[in-house]
Amino acid sequence: MDYPKKPVDGFVLRWWEVSCEGRYVTEHTATYHSRTLASDYFHDGIGADLVEDWMIAKDGSDMGRCWGWNAMRDRGGYWTRETAVSAAIQRIDQRLEFLREEIDDCTEMRRQWIS
């Protein structure tokens, strides 16, 4: 993703994050507002104006804001859903390997107690 050097009103970043165990892949967006009145953004018109703010949403629901153009430059996550899904699969595979080793260890401990 090319991140413009100078602020662009209405610029939208989109990325995906993967939960620790790979169970969830969530979409995030951040829309930059140079100067947007609260009455033009919020459905009830109540709230602070968005001035040099990123409005951040998770799976389509607003969840917060971040101030300043460069605030989102080094955010984490994945630029495409496909890469996020690949990362989720990799995390699940790693967890499966860990669990297989745990099962093997428990099976061996059980065997030792029985014999």
Task: Measure Cα distances from 72 to 45, 53, 55, 76 in Å.
Answer: 26, 10, 11, 9
What does the pLDDT look like over 71-100, one tens digit per residue? 888 888 999 999 999 999 999 999 999 999
Q: Which residue has the tokens 């009455």?
A: 39
Token representation of residue 60 = 């389509």
What does the pLDDT look like over 7-49, one tens digit per residue? 999 999 999 999 988 899 999 999 999 999 888 888 887 888 8
Q: If DSSP codes are grouped into helix, strand and coil, which group holds residue 26?
A: strand
Output the pTM of the full model. 0.77
